[in-house]
Amino acid sequence: MSNFGEILKEIGEFGLFQKRLLAALCIPSIFVAFDVFGQVFTGMSFDHNCNTDWILERGPNLTEDRQRNLTLPVNKDGKYESCKMFTPVDLDLETIEAYGINTTTGCLDGWDYQAPIGASSTVTEFNLVCDKSGLIEASQSIYMAGCLVGALTYGSISDRFGRRFALLLSLLVLMTFGVGVAFSPNIYVFLVLRFFSGTSGVIIMNTSVLALEWTIPSNAAICTQLIIVVYSTGLMTLSGIAYLIPNWRILQLVLSCPVLLLLGFLYWFLPESARWLMTQGRKEEAQKVLERAAKVNGRKVPDDLMDKLTIEGKVKRRNMLDIFRIPYLRKRTIIMGYNWCAVSLLYYGLSLNVGGFGLNIYLTQLIFGFVEIPANLGCLVLVQHFGRRICHACFMFFGGVACLVILAIPNDLPVVVTIMAVLGKMTATAAFSTAYIYTPELYPTVLRQNGVGLNSMCARVGGIVSPLIWLLEVYHHSIPMLVYGIVPVAAGGFCLLLPETLNVALQDQAEIK
């Protein structure tokens, strides 16, 4: 694109306009964090047993402990069974106490949950326990399936209708279905609404691309990392909000409703990408946006330089199929797509299992959110010094190794397990951040959002599979961590086949190689 780089320098490479834009683009990250990980708390599990109030008809004055002793069998660990009860019998209390009951059955009258007063979740309200417990993991996978559809859809929407339109549309969808989830009458409506809410999970993809196209290559990583750091603060904030609001419906409303205010602000404030406008041949609109940026930055673009703003060659519309028609883009997509899938598998495999490492779920979520900040900031320094490719490969390798090391730690050391999980989460976070920086730089402007969307779609495949892998524990406890360990290590090796993009000027038109 002739002279675009020069005009960007004239209006200010990272002036007040870009700084205000970046600040505005960071805000949606908070609500994305709420939407993705809110289900950790809205779907929280509590200890439970079968409802055995039938025996109170024989002995209305029975204590809770005595009631359980008479009606609930114990497992091999000496704890009451969660999904079994003694079969109700038509005998008086004295006979039951003297001879007991020898046959068991599943829960016939629902469940009693040992939840704090005022606390509720989709698990307690929709009884997602015992034979329905798999719906918890399924709901997470269905949300990721929505993210997959969103990644594919919004990539095309953004390259066809613009970055601004795609971002505003995704925020509208996030708010609408996020609020709708709070009014779900049953688990099936909940799953459908979560799917559509998940389609907006690519908001960070939209914001990072828009920020990238308004700055120079040397500042691209900084912009992307700041957007992701704010996402991490959203994770930390989520644990505090969830701790204060134990009712899942109220929590869901609190997490979703403020998006309306953000949507109104961005509709008024958000500019379109001048770089994208030029690739579409919309020169006059690009000029107006550039003049607005120059004015905010206190600069003036020379008239002769603006007049020379032209597009290299004839404007040609591109679509996602062009990525596979052009050999070098096809290679990059296959390798990076596998990397996105692997890092998503690792990241969500650890993040969505915060209750499974032996410590308090709110504390673990807070720690998991906090460690992402130094991981992202450290990643920024490393990728700016050593480059994108080698850093991403190393992050993937060490993240996989951390999961494999967890297998060697005894189960009676939950603190040590959590420490290793935190280290794995840090490297997974750094790998995700690098992927967000690296991937847009691998594609030309005319296909950038499609390329990032396609890779993000691969990440959602990993996100869909990730919670389901925990179900493999029934065959052997080591299988999930083996998968979470081996897949990222392999991805790190494949990453070394990609080109380096550090300080390389962004490509605007696809080259036929």
Instruction: Write out 254-289 in H/E/C secondary structure.
Output: HHHCCHHHHHHHHHHHCCCCHHHHHHCCCHHHHHHH
Q: In the chain, what percentage of residues exceed pLDDT 90?
A: 25
Residue 2: pLDDT over 70: no
Question: What 3 state SS string does 469-512 have?
Answer: HHHHHHCCCCHHHHHHHHHHHHHHHHHCCCCCCCCCCCCCCCCC
pLDDT of residue 1: 43
The answer to whether 362 and 500 are in contact (CB under 8 A) is no
pLDDT of residue 245: 92
Q: How confident is the model at residue 256 (pLDDT cuts 50, 70, 90)?
A: very high
Q: How confident is the model at residue 314 (pLDDT cuts 50, 70, 90)?
A: very low
Q: What is the mean pLDDT of residues 448-470?
A: 82
pLDDT of residue 69: 87
Residue 356: pLDDT over 80: no
CB neighbours of 482 closer than 8 A, spacing ≥ 6?
404, 407
How many Å apart are CA 163 and CA 172, to the nearest integer? 14
Return the higher-pLDDT residue of 255 and 285. 255
**What is the pLDDT of the chain when averaged over all its residues?**
84
Provide the 3-class DSSP secondary structure of residue 50: strand
Element (H, E) at 224: helix 217-244
pLDDT of residue 234: 92
Return the higher-pLDDT residue of 493 and 100. 493
pLDDT of residue 392: 92
Residue 358: pLDDT over 60: no
Q: What is the mean pLDDT of residues 14-23?
A: 90
Q: What is the pLDDT of residues 392-416, one digit of tens each?
A: 999 999 999 988 888 888 777 777 8
pLDDT of residue 3: 54
pLDDT of residue 252: 95
Q: How confident is the model at residue 510 (pLDDT cuts 50, 70, 90)?
A: low
pLDDT of residue 437: 84
Return the higher-pLDDT residue of 497 and 1. 497
Q: What single DSSP character describes residue 53? A: G
Q: What is the mean pLDDT of residues 318-343?
A: 85
Q: What is the mean pLDDT of residues 311-317?
A: 50
**C-alpha torsion angle, residues 25, 28, 30, 32 (rounded to 10):** -130
Residue 501: pLDDT over 90: no
pLDDT of residue 250: 95
Q: What is the pLDDT of residues 423-436, one digit of tens each?
A: 888 898 899 888 88
How many Å apart are CA 467 and CA 145, to the nearest integer? 12
Residue 313: pLDDT over 70: no
Nearest to 41 by CA among 274, 216, 250: 250
pLDDT of residue 286: 82
Residue 315: pLDDT over 70: no
Q: What is the mean pLDDT of residues 110-120?
A: 86
Return the higher-pLDDT residue of 513 and 383. 383
Q: How confident is the model at residue 310 (pLDDT cuts 50, 70, 90)?
A: low
Return the higher-pLDDT residue of 42 and 99. 42
The answer to whether 10 and 305 are in contact (CB under 8 A) is yes
Q: How confident is the model at residue 94 (pLDDT cuts 50, 70, 90)?
A: confident
